[in-house]
Amino acid sequence: MSSKRSSKTSKNEEPSVSLKAQTGKTWGRDKDISYNTVLLSTLILTCCPLLVVYFWVVCTHYQCSIIEPIILLQSNDFSKEAFESVILHKLPQFSLDGIKIYFAWLSFQAILYAILPAKIGYGQRTPAGHILPYKVNGLLAWLITHTLYLVGAFYFKWWDASIVHDQWGSLFIAANIYGYFLTFFSFIKAYVMPSHAEDRKFSGSFIYDLLMGIEMNPRFGKYWDFKLFHNGRPGIIAWTLINMSFAAAQYNKIGYVTNSMILLNFLHAVYVLDFFYNEDWYLRTIDIAHDHFGFYLAWGDTVWLPWMYTLQSHYLVRNPIDLSIPYFLFVLGVGLSGYYIFRAVNHQKDIVRRTNGDCMVWGKPAKFIRTKFVTSDGKTHSSILITSGFWGISRHFNYVGDLLISLAMCLTCGFHHLLPYFYIVYMTILLIHRIWRDDARCRGKYGKYWDEYGKVVKWKLFPYIY
Ligand code: NDP
């Protein structure tokens, strides 16, 4: 796990020159964590798990009504007995079956990741100057997993197609056991056997390091990458599997699958398949290029993502809805327009960078700013920031597309309850916070070039709004 093996070659390497802004304390994650950041980190570490448990309880026992348990507690003066009967006695239960299913599924995914034939993709240059290789075989893993799930359920009858729904509580316990184990394992690994020691960031706060991680690219061996595996496999592959299983549960319950459930499954599948079809592109997004591996990604990918990103399918099992054809088409239109924007914006950035700016954008030669940045080994590299096409409209127009798809996913559930809309609220907060984080990172990395870029592309998300 030494840093020596990773590729540091680059055709852009030049002798080090003085680029003061870029060589600041770091253009990776911040050091010098403030008291408020530690406080916020503590809140996230405690509140996120509680929120997932609460949502599990309201979905499983209260028809997905967020306020019903609160009304019940209030009508009993928030007594200890009421708290026990309304919440505590309704918590998910441990079962050996859940543990076996979860760890069999996790091991299966880990083996697929390790042994399936793969294209080798490359990430962005890290702050310490590494360009890491990644095994890209997610699409094949997705196909094998879903084929096995369907054939096992409908042909061999090894399991019921609603198995994930039926074991939802015990799987939740199992996923938490793994999510917490992974968080602490990664934390200790960062100290005792780091994969790339120079890319570690120690903030000085135990809480912050636990939440946001120390190692940037923890790995086993040359290719088994913690971030790509956990985000893609127990995270994103599970997404469509969970939805299908909840659609089967709806069928078992009412005898058919509603068009709202079909639409939701379709929109999620488009997003998930896009992710795996473009897995190589994902290597150059903030998740892989910037984030370190702590609770945020370890527990986030194994518990938060599968349990919170699929809330709409839980809702539709408990509250089946048949959408009118015009409303169905409207939601489909919102989702597909969002998807088009999301993919087209991300594709523009990828193609312009891949061709080093020598390409057409919207029928005209691409416009961009050529930048320089310095890695912590003192070497200077160059990159480009696009300023035409979607990237001339705002600095994160891809997030607009993502927000539209997310909204469409929520709209499949109609307007009777708040819970299905949690996803769009969460995505809005996540992406706006990302804009702030990315701005700080890029200013640190590109210095005066980022200021120049900000003058050309003024809007951060949407023109005249933000
Ligand atoms: P971006 O793909 O926008 O990546 C931002 C990075 O791109 C910057 O850090 C910078 O990195 C580079 N960059 C910034 N401006 C330019 C420019 N003008 N030209 C070229 N490169 C530029 O953001 P994300 O990685 O956050 O998101 C990728 C996609 O994933 C988005 O569509 C987003 O909506 C989606 N997403 C989905 C989430 C979900 O949970 N469903 C969560 C987060 C994101 P550098 O220069 O160092 O390469």
Q: Are residues 432 and 466 in the same domain?
A: yes
Closest by CA to 316, choosing from 404, 416, 238, is 416
Handedness of CA 290, 292, 298, 299 (dihedral sign): negative
Ligand 1 within 6 A of 442 CB? yes
Atom of ligand 1 nearest to the CA of 284: 48
* Statement to judge: residues 307 and 189 lie in one domain: yes
Q: Is residue 19 part of a domain?
A: no
Contact 459, 311 (CB under 8 A): no
Residues 236 and 157 in one domain: yes
SS3 call for 365: strand
In a domain, 402, yes or no: yes
Residue 412 burial by Cβ neighbours in a 10 Å radius (0-12, 13-18, 19+): buried
Q: How far is the CA of 349 from the centre of ligand 1 (A)?
A: 9
Phi, psi of 381, rounded to the nearest 5 degrees: -130, 165
Whether residues 269 and 410 share a domain: the answer is no
**Inside any domain, residue 21:** no
Contacts of 202 (CB under 8 A, 6+ apart): 31, 209, 214
Please provide residue 205's backbone torsions phi and psi, each rounded to the nearest 5 degrees: -120, 125
Span from the CA of 11 to the centroid of ligand 1 (angstroms): 23
In 278-421, alpha helices (H): 279-282, 286-289, 295-299, 305-308, 311-318, 325-354, 390-393, 397-411
Task: Please tell me the predicted confidence (pLDDT) of residue 376.
Answer: 79
Rounded to whole angstroms, the Cα distance separating 32 from 24 reads 13
**Last residue of one domain, picked from the residues 287, 322, 357:** 322
For residues 29 and 201, is the Cβ–Cβ distance under 8 A? yes
What's residue 243's pLDDT? 96
Closest CA to 396 of 465, 459, 451, 353: 459
Q: Is the CB of 102 under 6 A from ligand 1?
A: no
Tell me the C-alpha distance between 327 and 436, whole Å: 35
| Ligand 1 closest atom vs CA 453 | 18
- Residue 358 neighbours by CB distance under 10 Å: 9
Total domains present in the chain: 2
Q: What pLDDT score was predicted for residue 29?
A: 62
Residue 3 lies in a domain: no
Whether 105 and 163 share a structural domain: yes
Q: Is the CB of 286 under 6 A from ligand 1?
A: yes
What's the residue count for the chain?
466
Looking at the structure, tell me whether residues 349 and 309 fall in a common domain: no
Q: Is the residue at 4 inside a domain? A: no
User: Quick one: 189 and 314 in the same domain?
Assistant: yes
Ligand 1, atom 16: closest residue by C-alpha: 385
Could you list the pLDDT tens digit for every one of the 466 residues in the chain?
Answer: 333 333 333 333 333 333 333 344 456 665 667 889 899 999 999 999 999 999 999 999 999 999 999 999 999 989 999 999 999 999 999 999 999 999 999 999 999 999 999 999 999 888 888 899 999 999 999 999 999 999 999 999 999 999 999 999 999 999 999 999 999 999 999 999 999 988 898 888 999 999 999 999 999 998 999 999 999 999 899 999 999 999 999 999 999 999 999 999 999 999 999 999 999 988 988 888 888 999 999 999 999 999 999 999 999 999 999 999 999 999 999 999 999 999 999 999 989 998 998 898 998 999 999 999 888 778 888 899 999 999 999 999 999 999 999 999 999 999 999 999 999 999 999 999 999 988 988 998 899 999 999 999 999 999 888 8
Query: Both 316 and 396 in a single domain?
Result: no
CA 119, 230, 411 angle in degrees (round to 5)?
Answer: 105
In 3D space, the residue among 321, 142, 145, 109 whose CA is nearest the CA of residue 224 turns out to be: 109
Residue 437's pLDDT is what?
87
In this structure, the number of other CB atoms found within 10 A of the CB of residue 94 comes to 12
User: What is the Cα–Cα distance from 224 to 226, expressed in whole angstroms?
Assistant: 7
Clarify whether residues 365 and 302 are in a common domain: no
User: How close is the Cα of 286 to the center of ligand 1, in Å?
Assistant: 6
Dihedral over alpha carbons 289, 294, 298, 300 (to 10 degrees): -80
Give Cβ neighbours of residue 119 (< 8 Å, ≥ 6 apart).
136, 137, 280
Q: Is residue 1 part of a domain?
A: no
Rounded to the nearest 10°, the torsion over CA 93, 99, 105, 107 is: 150
- 17 domain-assigned: no
Domain housing 431? 344-466
Mutate to test the pocket of ligand 1, among 283, 349, 397, 457 (most ligand atoms within 8 A of CB): 349
Instruction: Note whether residue 280 is domain-resident.
Output: yes
Q: What is the pTM of this model?
A: 0.88
The response to whether residue 386 sits with its C-beta less than 6 Å from ligand 1 reads yes
Tell me: do 414 and 364 sit in the same domain: yes
Place of tokens 């990458």: 225
Asked if 306 and 380 sit in the same domain, the reply is no
Instruction: Please tell me if the CB atom of residue 356 comes closer than 6 angstroms to any atom of ligand 1.
Output: no
Distance between CA 458 and CA 465 in Å, rounded? Answer: 11
Same domain, 220 and 250: yes
Q: Where are the alpha helices (DSSP H) in 62-200?
A: 68-75, 80-86, 96-115, 138-150, 163-166, 168-192
At residue 322, the pLDDT reads: 97
Q: Which among 322, 353, 376 is the end of a domain? A: 322
